[in-house]
Amino acid sequence: MAKGSLVARRIDIYDNVKPPLCTSCGKPLNPSSKAVSFYCPNCGVFLIWRCEKCRTQGSTYKCPNCGFEGP
């Protein structure tokens, strides 16, 4: 009867890790994906993350600190 209690909620585990968010699309990055991170080339303060999809699509990002937009 109590089959449901065996189902682990993976999203809870994922929350604890606090994955970084892609600066372009805002989605949490999978640790196993080929995401890249670099500091904003304009202000050098904000750490920008880009997921593999946004890299291949050439999506633009916008720095929340200085408003710089780049490819």
The site for Zn ion (CB under 5 A) is made up of: 22, 24-25, 40, 42-43, 51, 54, 63, 65-66, 68
Least distance from Zn ion to the Cβ atom of residue 48, Å: 8
Residues 6+ apart with CB under 8 A from 19: 28, 29, 30, 31
Least distance from Zn ion to the Cβ atom of residue 28, Å: 10
User: CA nearest 22: which of 36, 39, 3, 12?
Assistant: 36
Among residues 47 and 66, whose Cβ is nearest to Zn ion? Answer: 66
User: CA nearest 60: which of 29, 24, 21?
Assistant: 24
Least distance from Zn ion to the Cβ atom of residue 42, Å: 4
